[in-house]
Amino acid sequence: MGKPYKSFTFTTKLKVNRRILVAGGAGFLGSHLCERLLKDGNTVICLDNFSTGRMDNLRHLLRYDTFSFIRHDIVEPIDVAVDEIYNLACPASPPHYQADPVHTMMTSVLGALNLLELAAHHKARIFQASTSEVYGDPHVHPQPESYWGNVNSFGPRACYDEGKRSAETLFYSFHQQYGVDIRIVRIFNTYGPRMRADDGRVVSNFIVQALKGEDITVYGDGSQTRSFCYVDDLIEGFYRLMNSPAPIHTPVNIGNPGEFTVKQLAEQVVAMTGSSSRIVYRPLPVDDPHQRKPDITMAERGLGWAPTVALAEGLKATIAYFEHQLAPPAKEFAVVA
Ligand code: NAD
Ligand code: UDP
């Protein structure tokens, strides 16, 4: 999947055999990141509380003797000797992060604190998976990193949005005060294989509904927009930011600037699956952002990064993944003598 990045001049001397902690490594993005880091010859310790993550996402990695995992909640401190830390631990889907908002906020804030202390102690470089949600319901479009956002601190999304904003502030403060080597990526809506069928985010919901012949649930009138990035592109962006020869200690947007309404996405999924599902309209959730599109100038100039996978191509791979996931297990035939 995806084209090679040969059009870019960016080069990084590949550093191998680092000990890397991936917090949230059993999740959708974390499992793709673990795979990439292992393939590059690193030792990877996946840390996860398995709240939304799954062992199924890691099974194919168990053949690496450089791979191990720890069941742990980052709200609690941990000590493990590492050279690098990626913090992806946090539920990302609105229904999941709103199910236990206090724990979501603590995961972002206390979790970041615990991992930053670990980084300071071991002089490890540390990466934070931040989010386009720090821009809230944006008044500036597309969103550059310099935009401060429009976030409600007192609503159902706030546990996630404000938690992630506080985590960015902690990263900034540890860098300023203790010289910790930080990297922060603001991730825009990303999709692909290994999302859970019950994840609740729009791409997986629509594909699963279409494949099951169920109604496709568009929230609101479907005119709100999102920009959808395929997972392989995102992981390449993570990698380039973490290994950038020039240290980039400020947040960087990584996302696909292609902008679609939710209604357009529903129609495309129906067309691509050949589904007989109807598109139905449900109430728009509180504080649902009306528009979202990354300004990726900083990633393009600083990292030589741009997405390569168009929505139709990424949806094709994701639909194939869910077709396989939803297929009934193969029947075993009894051998009749
Ligand atoms: P995910 O829910 O699939 O993965 C999150 C992982 O973190 C899961 O394995 C979960 O079990 C683990 N986790 C949650 N709380 C934890 C805790 N307290 N301690 C230890 N482990 C914990 O979600 P994802 O889409 O893979 O997102 C990964 C990261 O990227 C998250 O931090 C999310 O906020 C961020 N992000 C993702 C997107 C996206 O579109 N996928 C967009 C913006 C930001
Ligand atoms: N959405 C929808 N139907 C669904 C799930 C989500 O119309 O079944 C909408 C949701 O209201 C939002 C957009 O799709 O406007 C993206 O939602 P998602 O939960 O994927 O991400 P986020 O809102 O965090 O960007």
At 235, which CATH number? 3.40.50.720
To 10 degrees, what angle do helices 202-212 and 311-326 make? 50
| Res. 3: pLDDT tops 80 | no
88 lines ligand 1 (CB under 6 A): yes
CA of 163 to the centre of ligand 2 (A): 20
pTM: 0.95
- Give the 3-state secondary structure percentages of the chain, helix then strand then coil, rounded to 5: 40, 15, 45
Cβ-contact 47, 70 below 8 angstroms: yes
What average pLDDT score do residues 102-109 get?
98
Is residue 224 a part of any domain in this protein? Answer: no
pLDDT for the residue 221: 98
| Res. 2: pLDDT tops 50 | no
Q: How far is CA 164 from CA 22, 63, 74, 271, in A?
A: 17, 34, 14, 36
222-97-241-18 Cα dihedral, nearest 10 degrees: -150
- Tell me the residue range of the domain where 156 lies: 19-191+229-255+294-308
* Ligand 1 atom closest to Cα of residue 132: 43
* Ligand 2 atom closest to Cα of residue 266: 7
52 lines ligand 1 (CB under 6 A): yes
115 lines ligand 1 (CB under 6 A): no
Q: Give the percent of the chain with pLDDT over 90.
A: 92
Cβ-contact 35, 63 below 8 angstroms: no
Nearest residue to 113 via CA among 58, 173, 61: 173
Catalytic option among 97, 135, 160, 230: 160
Is residue 262 a part of any domain in this protein? Answer: no
Is residue 319 a part of any domain in this protein? Answer: no
In this structure, the chain runs to a length of 337
- Number of domains composing the chain: 1
Is residue 304 a part of any domain in this protein? Answer: yes
- In whole angstroms, give the CA distance from residue 259 to residue 310: 11
Q: Which ligand is nearest to the CA of 107?
A: 1
pLDDT for the residue 264: 98
Is residue 276 a part of any domain in this protein? Answer: no
28 lines ligand 1 (CB under 6 A): yes
Residue nearest to atom 14 of ligand 1 (CA): 90
Task: Provide the β-strand partners of residue 216.
Answer: 279
CA of 212 to the centre of ligand 1 (A): 26
Q: Give the percent of the chain with pLDDT over 70.
A: 93
Is residue 127 a part of any domain in this protein? Answer: yes
Is residue 31 a part of any domain in this protein? Answer: yes
**Averaged pLDDT score across all residues of the chain:** 94
Structure token digits, residue 319: 């639909």
Identify whether 191 is a catalytic site residue. Answer: no
Is residue 245 a part of any domain in this protein? Answer: yes
